[in-house]
Structure 1
Amino acid sequence: MEERRWPLLVTVVPYVLLAVLTVGTVIIKHNDLRSLAVDLGLCALAALWMLGMFTLHPAWRERTPHMLVFVAGLLLIVGVLVHRDPWFGFFTPAGYFYAFGVLPWPWKLLGVAAVAAVAGAAQASTVDKTTTVGLAIFFAVLLANILPMTGFAWLDRQQDQRNDARNHALQDVSEANRRLEATLAENAKLHQQLLDQAREAGVLDERQRMAREIHDTLAQGLTGIITQLQAAENEPSRHVEAAIALARESLNEARRSVHALRPGSLDSARLSDALADVAKRWTALHNIEVQVTTTGTTLPLPPDAELALLRTAQEALANVAKHAQATRVGLTLSYLEDKVALDVRDDGKGFQAGVVDGEGGFGLIAMRQRIEALDGRLQIESEPGAGTAISASVPVLPGAR
């Protein structure tokens, strides 16, 4: 990262500084060829050291041991040059570039202090170090270089730490955003699955509703029509008229079922009156008297509860007509404290209740589904030769009393 911040300072400027100082040395020492040769050799060594340890091996710049050797070796060469010719102190900026640019903490602090010491030695080269005052001045010059530069290195370290903390915070935020996006995507997927399941459940509920309505309207109506047409062989006029009326009623109820409407009998009358009307028409079709009784104080019921009890009565009477061979039927509607109960009893041949209830036809299943969907209860009691009793109860509306 630091190499990207100072690309020219750590790759080009050191060579430029060294070249300028080399030219200056040639100009200054052109009359002292022996000393000039030593200086030129040291300059060449510094150039080759930078070239071999840094410029030609970019991968080494990320390796702390290699960079420690590189900076230490370069400072040693520069230190010898400064000792011989103080003007080579002008090369120390390159030392700072390398110390700040390639050394990690805490080696950076040590490297900066070493470069500052070389720079201070160059600045105090003319000071007489044989006297106490001279030594004091020399060390004062060293400290004047070392303390500010190491302080700057410390501040640079603090800035790096803040940058690292900010970068880590940004990474944490980015990771949190990524997880949030993943969670939102998962939630969206789950939401879609719930919608699909709800849609499928709605379709299934509608199919079951239509199946119950078809059974309770068309199937029962067609059964009654067939019965009337069969009986028409003896009394054609009365039974044909009854069959036509029953067909019309069944068609009307089927249309209302398609539109999810309440039966017409419940639209214009109370539940007890609708049950009495059902019993009257059933008696007219099958010549079996139905005794209808209502007990208790009439309570308001949810429309679905009234429909369920009406359909239960219709199905129970249809089963009596098809299977019971009964001579008497009783239908009782009871308004109790917290529920409304419907009982349908006959004196027919009965059946083994456990077997039929478990393996019975769709009528009993639909009857139970309707009642239990309203938190109600359906009970069937029967024995062969002892008749059948069907009892259905549903809760009343809260606060109905």
Structure 2
Amino acid sequence: MRPQPAPPGHPARLWEGLLLWVAWVLLALASVVFAVRLATGATTFEPWRALTALTLVGASAALIYWGHTCPTMRGEQPRPNAVGYFFTLLVLGSSLVLLDDSFVVFLITGFFHAHILASWRAGLFGIFVTSFVINGIPLLGRPTISTQDVAFAGMIILVQTAAIGAGLVITLQAVKAEEKRDELVARLQAALDENAGLHAQLVVQAREAGVHDERGRLAREIHDTIAQGLAGVITQLHAAQGARDPQDSTARVESALLLAKSSLDEARRSVKALQPRELGHAQLPEALRTLAATWQETNGVPVHVEITGEPVTLSPALDVSLFRVSQEALTNVAKHAQASRVALTLSYGDQDVLLDIRDDGRGMHGPTNGFGLTSMRQRVRGIGGDLAIESELGEGTAISASVPVLTATAEVAS
């Protein structure tokens, strides 16, 4: 993955900006100094000199634009023909210096643009050549060159090469390390985004699987109760029609009525089970408080309800599942626990919602795989969550359900 461009003010951006504009600034500065010297008579005005300088300045500007500025703005690394560009730049700069010493400022560009060469060793050599040209050309204009002059110039060349080269190497390494860090951060962010997308997708798939399981459960329940009851009603009515004894016919009709009433009760119970009435006009926290208050009044056992975190509007599937888990857990407490107090805690987190129901009852011993507990596990797993049960004899029971946050808005969007 290609890293995103560094933000303004980033060290890499400052370094790139310096390398991009330093040649233009130095060329313009040298040209202005040369023009001022011509205008003030500090240097002899000769038409051929001015025309040659203008031509070389134009050639240098064209070289910088096509050889450095354009490739840099296109992000080409390494730049094409870097060696040819660099040494052509030195030749043009040297020619300008031979015309007038003012242009020695422009030759400093070589120290900055040596970084475009193939490696840091080549860049170090480019710095050495630049320093050699800057310090060697002034010697050519002297009538005589002493050994001391050569030694002094050589010392300056070595010091410049060592100092600027070390700075170049350190700077390039720092920029390279910064680019690697930015690339790593970009990859990590992409991985986090991808994982978040996969997590949301898994939650949706788990919810759809839960819906499918719930439909299957309802189908089995309808088949085993209502459908069989109606079949029995039909059988009894057919028998009543064919009965010759009035008492037998009346008995058959009464039996059919009893089956019909039983089937109607089963139908009402199934419809009621689809959506708890407590959730009809309230959010989950209020529904749990209502459930706890009703249970406490019925069973005479105090229930402490605590809501932590910032409540959010969850998907109806999550609300119903968590409510049913609470309902089943409290039912089990009433039937088996012989508890003196119960605590119900609903905790909202950034990624998960946690539901804890704890009692101080007699606890359980052995496997916790009764029908009610198995139903709770299946219900929670159907929405992508997890259910944990902890219980010891005499230590009470703790049921903890953890489900991923899926809001109603996210469910509609999916």
Structure 1 residue 169: Cα displacement: 0.4
Q: Is 2:174 the partner of 1:159?
A: yes
Who wins on radius of gyration, i.e. which is larger?
1
Amino acid across the alignment from 1:146:
T
Q: Relative to 1, partners in 2 of residues 1:80 and 1:21: Cα closer, same or farther, differing over 3 Å?
A: same
1:234-249 correspondence runs (5 A): 236=246, 238-249=247-258
Name stretches of at least 5 consecutive residues in structure 2 with no aligned partner: 1-12, 271-414
Partner residue of 2:63 out of 53, 62, 69: 53
CA distance in 2, matches of 1:152, 1:97: 10
- Does residue 89 (structure 1) correspond to residue 101 (structure 2)? The answer is no
1:385-400 to structure 2, matched below 5 A, reads none
- TM superposition score normalised by structure 1: 0.51
2:133 to 101, 118, 138: 118
* 1:28 equivalent in alignment to 2:42: yes
The structure 1 segments of at least 4 consecutive aligned residues displaced by more than 6 Å after TM superposition are: 123-129
Q: 1:247 to 1:189 in 2, by over 3 A?
A: closer
Q: Distance in 2 between matches of 1:220 and 1:81?
A: 114
Q: 1:2-401 maps to which residues of 2 (within 5 A)?
A: 4-5=17-18, 7-24=20-37, 27-30=41-44, 39-40=49-50, 42-55=52-65, 59-60=70-71, 62=76, 64-82=79-97, 86-100=101-115, 105-106=119-120, 107-121=122-136, 130-209=145-224, 210-215=226-231, 217-227=232-242, 230-232=243-245, 236=246, 238-259=247-268
Work out whether residues 135 and 157 of structure 2, in 8 Å CA contact, stay in contact via their aligned partners in 1.
yes
Alpha-carbon distance between aligned partners in 2 of 1:177 and 1:5, rounded to the nearest angstrom: 34
* Structure 1 residue matching 2:108: 3-state secondary structure: helix
After superposition, the Cα gap between the structure-2 partners of 1:178 and 1:241, relative to the gap in structure 1 and judged at 3 Å, is closer
Distance 2:259 2:29 in 1: 107
Partners of 1:253 and 1:212 in 2: CA distance: 11
Q: Within 1, Cα distance between the matches of 2:256 and 2:71? A: 98
- Counterpart amino acid of residue 267 in structure 2: V
Q: 1:166 to 1:78 in 2, by over 3 A?
A: same
Compute the displacement of 1:93 (Å).
Answer: 3.0
Deviation of 1:208 (Å): 1.6
Preserved CA contact (<8 Å) 2:23 2:106: no
Alpha-carbon deviation of 1:166? 1.4
Q: What percent of counterpart residues are identical?
A: 13
CA–CA separation in structure 1 for the residues paired with 2:143 and 2:152: 9
Give, as a single letter, the amino acid of the residue that structure 2 aligns with 1:177.
L
Root-mean-square deviation (Å): 3.6
Q: 1:152 to 1:120 in 2, by over 3 A?
A: farther
User: Which residue identity does 2:211 align to in structure 1?
Assistant: D
Measured against aligned partners, the alpha-carbon deviations of 1:73-123 in whole angstroms (never above 9, x if no partner) come to: 2212323444565554333333334445x5564454333332233333367
Give me the whole-angstrom Cα distance separating, in 2, the residues matched to 1:181 and 1:13: 51
| Conserved? CA contact 2:33–2:102, under 8 Å | no
In the aligned structure 1, how far is the partner of 2:239 from the partner of 2:18? 96
Change (3 A) 1:128 1:219: farther
Equivalent-residue separation in structure 1 for 2:129 and 2:34 (angstroms): 21
Aligned to 1:334: none
Contact 1:113 1:149 in 2 (8 A): no
CA distance in 1, matches of 2:149, 2:156: 11
2:124, 2:161 within 8 Å by CA — same for their partners in 1?
no
How far apart in 2 are the matches of 1:259 and 1:146? 92
CA distance in 2, matches of 1:153, 1:175: 33
What residue identity is the alignment partner of 1:203? L
User: Which amino acid in 1 is paired with 2:43?
Assistant: K
* Deviation per residue, 1:169-218 (Å, 9 max, x gap): 02311331232133124313422431332233133223322222323x42
**Does the CA contact (< 8 Å) of 2:30 and 2:102 recur in 1?**
no
Give secondary structure in 2 for the equivalent of 1:64. Answer: coil
Secondary structure at the aligned position of 1:29 is classed as coil
